[in-house]
Amino acid sequence: MEIKPKWIFCLLLSTNIIINLDQGIIPAAIQQIEDSLELTSEQLGYLGSQVYAGVTLVCLFGGKLFLHFNSKMIVMISYIGMITSLTLFPLNYGSSWPFYIFRFLTGCSKAPMMIYFPVWVDNFGGESKTIWITILQGVIPLGIFVGYSLSSVISSLWQWQAAFYIQVIMLTVCATFFIIFVRNTDFDIKKCTKSKLERKSINEEQQSASLLAQNTKRSYCSTMIELYSIKLWLCCTIVISILYFIVTGIQFWMTDYMIHEMHQDKQTVNIVFAIVSITAPVFGCITGGLIAQKLGGYQRAKSLYVCVLYCSLCCISAAPVPFTETFWFGALCLWLLLFFGGAIVPPLMGIMLSSVPKHLKAFANSSTTMFQNLFGFLPAPSIYGFLMERYNSQVAVFALMYYSFVGLLVMLLAVYFRRQQNNKKVAFEEVFAQQDDSKSSVLHDQENFNLTVRVLQYGDAPLVTSLTPHIDDQILDYNDQELVNQKEI
C-alpha cells in the first residue's frame, strides 16, 4: 500500500516530538530522580550530558551509514534502541553506571533520526520541503516543553518513571506504523535518486563522472585550517556555543534552583518555567529574524552591531539572577535572557554562514554543529553539577549566568575582525584604483612615446596630431572675411 509523503511526514513529525520528551521529563522531576536513583548533583549532571555525548559520537559517522546501508533499517534500529534504553533507564540498579549507559544509548539511538529526517524531507518534500523542514526543526523545543509539562503533572500524582513509560508507549506506536506502512521506496533517498536518474536516462558512467567532478581534492586538514582561519566565523561559532551552554544549563538545572534557592513551591515553578522556556525563545527568534530582515539582511554591518546589543541585553538580564531570591523577578530575568538569546540566533547564524566562501559552507555548517555539541550542549549539565557538588548552587548559577559576559567579549572581537576585514577590502579597492590609474598613465606615456618615435623616424605625425595645432588657422573667421570683402569692393 502506497502512502503519500505528507502522511510519512506526519509520522516523522510525531516521532521528532516524542524522542525529545525525555529532555523535558528529567528537568521537571530532577529532585525525585536524584532521590530515587541515589545520585549526587555531580552524577546527575554527568547523566544529563550522556545524551549529547551519544548524539555527538554518532553524528561523526552517521551520515555515512545512510550511504552504505538501508535507510529504513537504520531508522528501525534507532526506534528499537531508543525504546529499549528508555524502558531500562528508570529501573533501579546498584550502581550509577547503568544509568549513564542507557542515557548514552538514548543519544546514540536518537542521532540517526536527527540526521535523516531533514534529509528525507529535502528529497521527498517537493514544493513543501521548506515549510516542512521549518516545522520539523521547530517541534524540537515543543517536544521538550511537552515532556516538561507531562513530567510535572505525573511526578506530582505518581512516580516519575511513569512519564518515561508513557514516552515508550507513544514511541512504540510510531515505530509500529513505521515498520508496517512505510516502504523502502518511499523512504530511502538512494532509491529515490536512482529512479530520478533512470527517468533522466543517465548511465552509471555519467553519474560517476558527475560525482567525481563534485568531489574536491582538498584534504580534511587543509579545509579545516582554511575554515578556522576565518576569524569572524570562529567568533560567531563560539558565541552560539556559549549561548547553547547557558540555555542547556538553565533547562536542566533552573527548576531545582528556583525550588531550593528562591523558596517557591514545585507546582508554581513547573508552570512558570514551562511558560518561560517555550515563549521566550520562540518570540525571540521571530523578533530577531524580523529585525534582521528590516535591516537589509545578515550581510549588513548593522546586523553584527545588533548582535552585540542582544549580547549586552543578555548579560544585563543574567547578572541579577544569582543574587535574587525573589521568584518572580528571577523568572522575569530568565525570560528576558532567553528572549534576547533567541533573538540573536537568526542574525548570528546568517552572519556565520555568509562569512565563509561557498565551497566551505557545508563543512562550516557541520563544524558549527559539532562545536555546539562539544562546547555547548554536552558540558553544561556536567559543569553545573560539578560546581554545585563542590561548592553550592549559587556558585554554579553565578558561573552559568556570568558566562554570558564571555560571549559578549567574543562578540566584540567579531566586530573588531569585521572592521579589519572591511579595512582590508577598502585598501584593496584603493590599490586596484591606483593600479588602474597607473595603467592609464602608462598607456598615455606609451602613446606619447610612440608618437615621438614616429615623428623622429618618419618626419610626420598622425593626422589628428598634425592638424590639432593648426586647426584654428583652417577655420574661417567670418568677421575678418567680411572686412576683406568690403576692402575689395
Structure confidence at residue 63 as a pLDDT band (50, 70, 90) = low
Residue 218 within any structural domain of the chain:
no
CA atoms within 13 A on the CB side of 279: 11
Residues 475 and 435 in one domain: no
Q: Is 269 within the bounds of a domain?
A: yes
- Is 434 in the same domain as 457? no
* Per-residue model confidence (pLDDT) at position 455: 36
Domain boundary among 441, 456, 477: 441
| Alpha-carbon span 387 to 414, nearest angstrom | 30
Q: What is the pTM of this model?
A: 0.69
Share of the chain above pLDDT 70, in %: 76
The three cell numbers of residue 71 are: 535507510
Cα–Cα dist 292/302, whole Å: 9
User: Is 27 within a domain?
Assistant: yes
| Mean of pLDDT values over 468-476 | 39
Q: Are residues 419 and 455 in the same domain?
A: no
151 and 100, same structural domain? yes
Q: Could you give the C-alpha distances from 370 to 140, 259, 352, 355, in angstroms and in order?
A: 18, 34, 14, 18
pLDDT for position 215: 40
pLDDT of residue 425: 58
Say if residue 367 is in the same domain as residue 482. Answer: no
Specify if 217 maps to a domain: no
| Mean of all residue pLDDT scores within the chain | 77
Quick one: pLDDT at residue 146? 83
Q: In this model, does residue 483 exceed pLDDT 70?
A: no
**Whether 236 and 376 share a structural domain:** yes
Task: Report the greatest alpha carbon distance in the chain.
Answer: 137
For the segment 165-192, the average pLDDT, to the nearest whole number, is 84
Q: Does residue 219 lie in a domain region?
A: no
pLDDT at 203: 47
Tell whether the model's pLDDT for residue 427 goes beyond 90. Answer: no
What's the pLDDT score for residue 259? 86
Same domain, 432 and 453: no
pLDDT score at 143: 83
Instruction: Identify the top-confidence range among 49-58, 363-372, 449-458, 480-489.
Output: 49-58
- 425 and 448 share a domain? no
pLDDT of residue 86: 92
Instruction: With cut-offs at 50, 70 and 90, classify the pLDDT of residue 26.
Output: confident
Nearest alpha-carbon partner for 148 in 35, 254, 41, 49: 254
pLDDT at 204 over 50: no
For residue 413, the model assigns a pLDDT of: 92
Tens digits of residue pLDDT in 385-401: 888 888 888 889 999 99
Residue 59 burial (CB count, 10 A)? 18
Q: Return the pLDDT at 474.
A: 39
Cα–Cα dist 348/345, whole Å: 5
Residue 70, pLDDT above cutoff 60: yes
Are residue 48 and residue 182 in the same domain, yes or no? Answer: yes
Residues 429 and 453 in one domain: no
Whether residue 187 is contained in a domain is answered as yes
Whole-angstrom distance, CA of residue 299 vs CA of residue 456: 58
pLDDT band at 200 (very low <50, low <70, confident <90, very high): very low
Task: State mean pLDDT over 205-223.
Answer: 51
Nearest to 189 by CA among 125, 111, 114: 125
> Which CATH number belongs to the domain containing residue 31 in this structure?
1.20.1250.20
User: Is 132 inside any structural domain?
Assistant: yes
Boundary (domain end) residue, out of 150, 177, 210: 210
pLDDT digits (tens, 9 = 90+) for 134-149: 677 667 777 888 888 8
Q: State how many domains the chain has.
A: 3
Pick 127 or 272 by higher pLDDT: 272
Is residue 216, in this structure, part of any structural domain at all?
Answer: no
Residue 462 has pLDDT above 60, yes or no: no
On the question of pLDDT at 236 being above 80, the answer is: yes
Exposed / middle / buried, residue 216 (Cβ in 10 Å: 0-12, 13-18, 19+): exposed
Residue 8 has pLDDT above 50, yes or no: yes
Reply yes or no on whether the pLDDT at 45 is more than 80. Answer: yes
Contact 153, 166 (CB under 8 A): no
Q: Give the Cα separation of 329 and 309 in Å (integer).
A: 22
Residues 377 and 282 in one domain: yes
pLDDT at 309 over 90: yes
Which pLDDT tens digit goes with each residue over 80-135? Answer: 999 999 999 888 777 778 888 999 999 899 988 887 887 788 777 777 776 777 67
Do 369 and 483 lie in one domain? The reply is no
Which structural domain, as residue segments, surrounds residue 150? 1-210
Radius of gyration of the chain (CA): 33
Q: What is the mean pLDDT of residues 440-463?
A: 43
Residue-level pLDDT at 187: 75
Over residues 317-374, the pLDDT tens digits come to 999 999 988 899 999 999 999 999 988 888 887 788 778 887 777 677 767 777 888 8
